[in-house]
Amino acid sequence: MSAVPYEPVADPQPVDQIREPRRTAFDRITAHREAAKHPIVVPWVRDRDQRDPILRWAAGYSWHVARFHAVRLPVYVLRVLRRSPVGLGRAIRWVVDGMTDSEARPLRKSAVVRDDVREYMQLARERNARVRHRAVAAVVGGVLVAAFLVWLLLVATGPLFWAGLAAAVAVLGVIGRDREKPLITRATTPLHLAPVLRADVVEVALRALPGVVKKDARIEFPDPVTRDGPGYLARVNLPVGVTPQDVMGKRAALASGLRRPIGCVWPAPGPHHGGQLDLWVGDQDLATARQPVYPLLEKGVADVFGRLPYGTNQRNGKVGVQLIENNALIGAMVGQGKTSAMRVLALGCALDVTAELRVWELKGSGDLGALEQLAHTYGSGQDDETIRGCLEDLRAIRAEVERRAGEIKKIAKRSPEMCPNNKVTRDLANRRDLGLHPMVVLLDEVQNLFSHETYGKEAGKLALDIIRLGRAFGVMLVQATQRPDADSLPKGISSNAGIRIALRVMDDYANNAILGAGMYAAGIRATDFTVRDKGIAWLVGVEDEPLVAKSFNITTGMAERVCERARKLREQAGRLTGHAIGATVEGKGADLLTDVRKVLAELGQDWVWSKVAAERLAELRPDVYRGWTADTFGAAMKGRGVATKQINRTGPDGLRHNWWGVELGQLPDATGSASTSG
């Protein structure tokens, strides 16, 4: 940082004695010229993502209201009929009362009792004048009513008569309505509307925080409280020595002082100095506020090198997460939305056809099952077999990181401009020949891996190596855990994760284990979230400052839809690999291993080269295997746990070749127990 140049001021003055300069017309014009221009059309009308949900809501709301009242129409008719005689009585009474000036009658009586002739005469004159005016109005009204009755009884026939009668009854029903019981039932009960946030309310709430603001300490509002998105922003200069973190640590007490739900109250450091607080108070609790739908649900693709859609913040603004060159750790108590948070990131990766996904959901719930159709490796379960599969995959990924490091080194030597800082770039990732595409490894309920008696230790070491070394080479680990303790989450793993996401956690230990040391003390507390706050998390490492966001709520059905679209995109781009190819085969009602056995039986051999197998499979079931190459076959077999190997045999051409293929002995036996080798 360069030093600020110092030039002595000719005539120094203490600043507190300088008078506020007078603003000239030029100053004011300049201020307007530099002023932020308000948009001509309100932004939500132009933004499809905001406009469509509002229009959809308006249509849905109108439809609900229309149906609600249509069903109750007969009840409304009965109510009006019942009240119409009362209405007739009321109308006659109004006329009589008006013509006799009944409202001033007590005054006239009082004047008579007091023998006050002058006052009585005065009141009598006023009554006569009033009654004269009212008589004119009554005559006009009476003529109109009489004309209406003549028309109704003598002229109107058929539907016109009934319509006229209904209108007359409706008017009388409305006049005779009971003030306690409305004629029309409400179709909705609006939410309690939050009161406007005022500076004095904020000040009272801040002063009431236990042990934060001393009595008589000054609290200032540099700007007036303003409307900011769906809430209010109060910028506060806290008393000297008090920090925003002191307030952030007492969010629940602050919410109590403001008389709002805690999910509406979001204090954060202000932009100008260390004692400034930006208090944003939402109209609605973040847990219940309406959220835009996942933007890539129906169309669009993502880029792992850019920001992947994650969710929305308190202001309903979109929050994206940049995974490339990062590793992510997600932690929370059971059932708060860890897997959903992981899934929303995974869907983004799925929609980048270049990204290879390796998915290990180590609970066995199938929550990430939608990704199976496009994942290079996939496992679901907490049994030893799945954990071992995951470990083997980590070994392969570790080796892949090594290979990529060598590849990058070669490229950097050959043409340094292609990989600045010795890192994978989008251009390098797009080149298939280099194999430097993004590789995203999802490990859900990772505590089941790291605390495994046999495989846990090695898995922890491999994961740590991958986290430390893989970033620059496009390999990223996204892990989720519900137990961030030392046994279940090796220390280096949490401290090396660049992106940390904490949904509701139990205590400060878990909070800091996921978000990083000191976060709880700094007021970044995922302990403040309640059971209702599903999907809401503190995110660290996504922006310069920690932020709160709610992940897009994606149901299993939505995830399936997105993944089906992603699989098609990958098929078109020829980017389906490994397990996904096997899954596609199964999706078309075939079983790869059974078909390979058939091919071997047809050939009368106990081995087959991949190239030959691909051709024979395509003849066997063209709808499933058409277009397969030796590589496709190798990847698909690997996805089924059978690695191809080099087989040195004489072919039908009489020549000997050492090509890749599989042997019958490698295939799992009929009972399904794998006898994998190679």
Ligand X SMILES: Nc1ncnc2c1ncn2[C@@H]1O[C@H](COP(=O)(O)OP(=O)(O)OP(=O)(O)O)[C@@H](O)[C@H]1O
The minimum distance between CB 548 and ligand X, in angstroms, equals 12
Dist CA 546 CA 500 (whole Å): 10
Question: Token digits for 612?
Answer: 């030959």
H or E stretch including 329?
strand 328-331
Residue (338 or 570) nearer to ligand X, CB = 338
Q: Does 314 bind ligand X (CB under 6 A)?
A: no
Smallest gap from residue 297 Cβ to ligand X (A): 14
**What sign has the CA pseudo-torsion 31, 36, 39, 44?**
negative
Q: Which of 237, 425, 496, 553 binds ligand X (CB under 6 A)?
A: 553
Question: Per CB under 6 A, which region of 107-115, 172-180, 314-322, 332-340 contacts ligand X?
Answer: 332-340
Residue 195 Cβ vs ligand X, minimum distance, rounded to whole Å: 27
Nearer to ligand X, 84 or 339 (CB): 339
Please, what sign has the CA dihedral across residues 22, 25, 27, 28? positive
The interface region with ligand X, picked from 137-145, 215-223, 327-335, 493-501 by CB under 6 A, is 327-335
Strands (E), 448-589: 475-481, 499-502, 536-540, 547-551
x/- letters, 333..372, toward ligand X (CB under 6 A): -xxxxxxx----------------------x---x-----
Q: Binding pattern to ligand X, positions 481-500, x when CB under 6 A? A: -x------------------
Residue 306 or 335: the one with the smaller Cβ distance to ligand X is 335
Nearest CA among 222, 207, 311, 214 for reference residue 256? 207
Length of the chain: 678
53/164 with CB nearer ligand X:
53
Among the listed ranges 103-111, 254-262, 546-554, 587-595, the one in contact with ligand X (CB under 6 A) is 546-554
CA gap 480, 444 in Å, rounded: 5
Q: C-beta of 552: minimal distance to ligand X in Å? A: 6
At its nearest, how many Å lie between ligand X and the CB of residue 330?
9
- Residue 123 or 346 with smaller CB distance to ligand X: 346
Tokens of 565: 């679209």
Is 548 annotated in some ligand binding site?
A: no
DSSP state, residue 220 = B
- Residue 129 CA, distance from chain mean position: 69
Residue 143 labeled ligand binder: no
The CB-of-503 to ligand X minimum distance in angstroms stands at 7
Nearer to ligand X by Cβ, of 276 and 336: the residue is 336
Nearer to ligand X, 290 or 432 (CB): 290
- Which tokens in the block code for residue 265? 């109250």
Q: Which stretch binds ligand X (CB under 6 A): 185-193, 329-337, 559-567, 667-675?
A: 329-337
Decide whether 482 or 644 has the Cβ nearer to ligand X: 482
Smallest distance, Å, CB 40 to ligand X? 34
SS3 308: strand
Q: Which of 172, 197, 213, 332 binds ligand X (CB under 6 A)?
A: 332
Q: Which is nearer to ligand X, 339 or 644 (CB)?
A: 339
- Smallest distance from ligand X to CB 22, Å: 54
Q: How far is the CB of 378 from ligand X (least distance, A)?
A: 17
Q: Which residue is nearest to ligand X (CB)?
A: 535
Q: In the complex, what is the shortest distance from the CB of residue 444 to ligand X, in angstroms, rounded to a whole number?
A: 7
CA-CA distance, 17 to 34, in Å (whole number)? 29
- Which of the ranges 249-257, 396-404, 549-557, 638-646 carries the binding residues for ligand X, by CB under 6 A? 549-557
In the list 284, 316, 511, 551, the residue contacting ligand X (rule: CB under 6 A) is: 551
Asked whether 457 and 487 are in contact (CB, 8 A), the reply is no
In whole angstroms, the minimum distance from the beta carbon of 567 to ligand X comes to: 22
Q: Nearer Cβ to ligand X, position 253 or 559?
A: 559
User: Given the DSSP bridges, would you call strands 475-481 and 276-282 parallel, antiparallel or unpaired?
Assistant: unpaired
d(Cα 20, Cα 453) in Å, to the nearest integer?
A: 73
Both tokens of 106, joined, read 């007590």
Residues between 445 and 484 with contacts to ligand X, criterion CB under 6 A: 482
Q: Is 337 annotated as belonging to a binding site?
A: yes
Q: Which string of b and e fits 457-486 if b means at least 16 CB within 10 Å?
A: eebbebbbbbbeebbbbbbbbbbbbbbbee
> What is the DSSP code (8-state) at residue 94?
H
What letter represents residue 438's amino acid?
P
CA distances from 678 to 308, 582, 612, 614 (A): 38, 19, 19, 19
Provide the mask over 518-537, with x wherever binding to ligand X is found by CB under 6 A and - wherever it is not: ----------------xx--
In the complex with ligand X, which residue's Cβ is closer, 341 or 600? Answer: 341
Question: Shortest distance, CB of residue 62 to ligand X, whole angstroms?
Answer: 26
- The CA distance from 271 to 457, in Å, is 45
Binding residues for ligand X, total number by CB under 6 A? 16
Q: Is 332 annotated as a binding residue?
A: yes
CA contacts within 13 A on the Cβ side of 591: 8
3-class DSSP state for residue 609?
strand
Token code pair at residue 448: 């089941």
Check if the beta carbon of residue 459 is closer than 8 Å to that of residue 391. Answer: yes
**Token pair recorded at residue 417:** 């401009």
Count helices and strands (H / E) in the chain: 22, 17
Which residue carries 């070491």 as its tokens? 461
Closer residue to ligand X in complex, CB, 332/478: 332
Q: Could you list the residues known to form a binding site for ATP, using ranges.
A: 332-339
Give residues in contact with ligand X (CB under 6 A): 332, 334-340, 363, 367, 482, 534-535, 550-551, 553
Q: Could you list the residues known to form a binding site, using ranges.
A: 332-339
